[in-house]
A and B are shown apart, each in its own frame.
Chain A
Amino acid sequence: MGEKVLMKGNEAVAASAVRAGCRYYFGYPITPQTEVAAYMSKIMPKIGGTFLQAESEIAAINMLYGAGAAGARAMTSSSSPGISLKGEGISYMAGADLPGVILNVERGGPGLGSIQPSQQDYWQATRAMGHGDSRHIVYAPNTVQEMADLVYLAFDKADEYLMPVVLLADGLLGQMMEPVELPPEKTEFPEKPWATTGHHNKRPHNVANSLYLQADKLEAKLRERYARYEQIEKTEQRSEAFMVDDADIVVVAFGASARIARSAVVSARAQGIKAGLLRPITLWPFPNDSLEATVPQAKAYLSVEMNMGQMVDDVRLAVHDAHPVRFYGRTGGVIPAPGEVLDAIAKLAQEVGA
């Protein structure tokens, strides 16, 4: 076992990406994720990798497209407004079946918003990073350790399913320091016979492209891609259950708000309210199976988020509206206090007679 070191989430994610084999990083500074770029700028020249501060977020995502097409493990990161700018390139990557890792350290929105932590990009991350029918695996870490572990996993999944994979964090996780044990340096990587690496006339040339001028060919391609998405929905759901087995009130929260919700659940138990926490680790695929499994026991659900309730519909769908699904959240960069969440749990418990 490696030594636990104290690191910021932004630094841990960068250090772990490098250990996952990332040798190309393209970015543009924006609070609260600039430490990722700072870390990469220091380490990449030392290990034969490339750190490139692009002229814009749009340039950076298109560099990720290029590096992914050439078979490299590559990454870009930004915060909310910058991620919006990347939308076009992310859609092109999905359309060309290219792997790549995209980190969003969310801040308040919309527009330039605030620089404080938020989870206001849930819809963007899970529904439409860009235009067209496309999906992306979305991981939502809630500790600095998970920042490291999930970015490490993201590179593997991007290569396995040939898609951009998103890590959805927030300013709290990016800026905070916690003990972290970094994963080992990866030495084995999947073959990429599809990569546009030059062929010296020894094989037919590879093409990375998202343009299909014949609609029926595009439709066939999309159906093929959706079969892959269906497979991901079956096999890649991840979540963590805390005191859920006998819970009347199941709190659903991800990322930073799940930490706060966990404290509130512990306090609720101390007051005799049977509360539990179901924490989605993948936001897409949403952990429908583990949520559905709570339906026979639960009396109500409380979605706790740092936005205006973007995950509520997903919870309602997962539990088939079998019980009330309520919402508590703060937004715009305000972090809820555990006491506020506890009050919301207590109110809901009273409402449903739990």
Chain B
Amino acid sequence: MPKDYSKDLKIIFAGFGGQGLLFAGKIVAQAGLLDGKEVSWLPSYGPEMRGGTCNCSVTVSTDPVGSPLVVEPDVVVAMNQPSVYKFIDAVVPGGLMIVDSTLVPDIPERDDIAIVKVPSTQLADEAGFKQLANVILTGKLYAETKFCSKDAIDAALTKIIPARKAKLLEPNQKALAMGMDL
């Protein structure tokens, strides 16, 4: 039986600094909070952030969160090649890896997890959502896991995009919807 992600979901978002992975994690954490769940969000803040890979751990659960550091992710969202190599073996059996296939040429095989390839960087460029490949992948993550209510994830964007950046809200909403419909 597939895991009920609305009860507990542990995710790692991984890629290069600047791809918006921490922001994608915030959307998920905020959506969980709006649904009244326990949530945690933890960024990697090691020296690897400077120009290198970056990742964040997000947990959304009906139970209190123990370690906010996710070591056995249900889902990994990966936006570069090193992250796929680093995290593919960590995904729990039955879990899911969502990969930006525009940026990742090589995905090692694992037959006990689902691998979802989304050319999100290409889709974002074509749709004029430059830099929103992360949000497209977050939409896909929602569609695959249904970890929260649709209202919550929609409202999460409004919560975390500050008023002074209100003009970014609409493209983010469109990118999220695009990811959900893939």
A positions within 8 Å CB-CB of B: 4, 6, 31-32, 115-116, 171-172, 175-179, 256, 259-260, 262-264, 266, 335, 337-338
Contacts and interface: CB of A to CB of B under 8 A. Distances in A.
B29 A6 contact: yes
Interface stretch (B40-48, B137-145, B174-182): B40-48
A262 B33 CA distance: 22
A69 B29 CA distance: 42
Given A31-B45, A172-B42, A259 B66 contact: yes
17 contacts: A6-B26, A6-B33, A6-B41, A32-B45, A115-B45, A116-B45, A171-B45, A175-B42, A175-B45, A176-B42, A177-B40, A178-B40, A179-B39, A259-B67, A259-B68, A260-B67, A337-B71
Interface centre among A115, A171, A179, A264 (most CB of B within 10 A): A179
Contacts of B30: 6
Contacts of A6: 26, 29-30, 33, 39, 41, 160
B66 A175 contact: no
Interface in B20-43: 26, 29-30, 33, 38-43
B67 A263 contact: yes
Given A260-B66, A337-B71, 10 more contacts: A6-B26, A6-B33, A171-B45, A175-B45, A176-B40, A178-B65, A263-B67, A337-B67, A337-B69, A338-B67
Interface in B116-175: 160
Interface centre among B29, B38, B69, B160 (most CB of A within 10 A): B69
Given A260-B66, A262-B66, A263-B66, A176 B41 contact: yes
A172 B66 CA distance: 12
B71 A4 contact: no
Contacts of B65: 178, 259
Contacts of A176: 40-42, 68
B147 to A, nearest CB: 16
Nearest to A333: B46
A335 B45 contact: no
Majority secondary structure, B binding face: mixed
Contacts of B26: 6, 177
B35 to A, nearest CB: 11
Contacts of B160: 6
A172 B40 CA distance: 11
Contacts of A175: 42-43, 45
B132 to A, nearest CB: 21
A4 B39 CA distance: 12
Interface centre among A6, A175, A260, A335 (most CB of B within 10 A): A6
Task: Give me the 3 closest cross-chain CB pairs, A-B, nearest first.
Answer: A263-B66, A177-B41, A176-B42
A179 B159 CA distance: 13
Interface string B47-59: 1000000000000
B164 to A, nearest CB: 13
Contacts of B38: 179
A177 B60 CA distance: 12
Nearest to A177: B41
Contact of B47 (A115, A262, A264): A115
Contacts of B64: 262
Contact of B33 (A4, A256, A260, A266): A4
A4 B37 CA distance: 11
B41 A172 contact: no
Nearest to A173: B68
Nearest to B32: A179
Contacts of A259: 65-68
B67 A335 contact: yes
Interface centre among B47, B67, B71 (most CB of A within 10 A): B67
